[in-house]
């Protein structure tokens, strides 16, 4: 039995609902401006194995409540944009979603993590017709959205790989080097944004 139990099907539905709303926003922006709101998005329900591993890592029992209430990233959506402004525009659009409220947000773009990680994180509470694990109707299901630029996304993917390779020699140098690259990419993102503004003005 999956850690999500009888709620697995609803998770899938909630994910598809939010994904569709984002795709509709993409269509609207394309129609109105001829530009993309974002380049691509990736939506997934965290696998049973990853969710169990996360529960263990956080010292939580491996059950439905931990997976659906104590942890809020069973549904994850990553939105990758060309420009930094697009990230903030999407966040503002997410604020307008009906039957949803933002319960947490972290701006790791204005306030990068010490290792150089940059991204905008939003935890969305989605109110649905379905029952949730606490017996509430409408039930509340959480979605973690990570919104970032292509440059930030490339960096995060590489850094993520490094985390799992503990036996790399000269870790300290690599960590410092990755931080330097993250800062350079942030500077490139700003330049790209300025160039776009000049083209559009
Ligand atoms: P996974 O396997 O991707 O799901 P905390 O547990 O306190 O460190 P918190 O408060 O749960 O973090 O959330 P935060 O900081 O918003 O991070 C949530 C997710 O963002 C992480 O999920 C990662 O996917 C991503 N993330 C955060 N920091 C980094 C980073 O430094 N590098 C990379 N590559 N990704 C990061 P999980 O559950 O840690 O991992």
| Per-residue pLDDT at 142 | 98
Work out the pLDDT band at 92, boundaries 50, 70, 90: very high
% of the chain exceeding 70 in pLDDT: 100
Query: Is the four-CA dihedral 194, 197, 199, 201 of positive or negative sign?
Result: negative
CB distance 58 to ligand 1 below 6 Å: no
State if residue 25 touches ligand 1 by the CB under 6 angstroms criterion: no
| pLDDT, position 105 | 98
Question: What pLDDT is attached to residue 151?
Answer: 98
Average pLDDT, the chain: 96
CB 126 within 8 A of CB 142: yes
44 CA to centre of ligand 1 in angstroms: 15
The torsion angles phi and psi of 11, rounded to 5 degrees, stand at: -55, -45
Report residue 163's pLDDT band, with 50, 70 and 90 as the boundaries.
confident
Question: Quick one: pLDDT at residue 179?
Answer: 96
State if residue 54 touches ligand 1 by the CB under 6 angstroms criterion: yes
pLDDT bracket for residue 169 (50, 70, 90): confident
Collapsing DSSP to helix, strand or coil, 163 comes out as: helix
37-86 tens-digit pLDDT: 999 999 999 999 999 999 999 999 999 999 999 999 999 999 999 999 99
Closest protein CA for atom 22 of ligand 1: 73
Output the CA 117–ligand 1 centroid distance in Å. Answer: 10
């Amino acid at each position: 039995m999956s850690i999500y139990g009888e709620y697995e099907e609803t998770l899938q539905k909630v994910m598809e609902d939010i994904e569709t709303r984002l795709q509709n926003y993409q269509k609207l922006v394309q129609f109105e401006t001829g530009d993309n709101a974002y380049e691509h998005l990736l939506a997934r329900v965290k696998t049973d194995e990853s969710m169990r591993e996360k529960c263990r890592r956080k010292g939580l029992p491996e059950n439905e409540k931990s997976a659906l209430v104590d942890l809020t990233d069973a549904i994850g959506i990553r939105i990758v944009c060309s420009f930094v402004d697009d990230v903030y525009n999407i966040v503002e659009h997410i604020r307008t979603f009906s039957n949803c409220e933002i319960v947490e947000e972290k701006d790791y773009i204005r306030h990068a993590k010490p290792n150089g990680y940059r991204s905008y994180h939003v935890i969305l509470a989605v109110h649905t017709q379905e029952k949730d694990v606490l017996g509430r109707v409408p039930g509340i299901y959480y979605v973690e959205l990570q919104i970032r630029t292509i440059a930030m996304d490339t960096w995060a993917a590489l850094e993520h790989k490094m985390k799992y390779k503990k036996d790399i020699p000269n870790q300290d140098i690599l960590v410092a080097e990755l931080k330097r690259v993250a800062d350079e990419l942030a500077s490139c993102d700003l330049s790209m944004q300025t160039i776009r503004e000049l083209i559009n003005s």
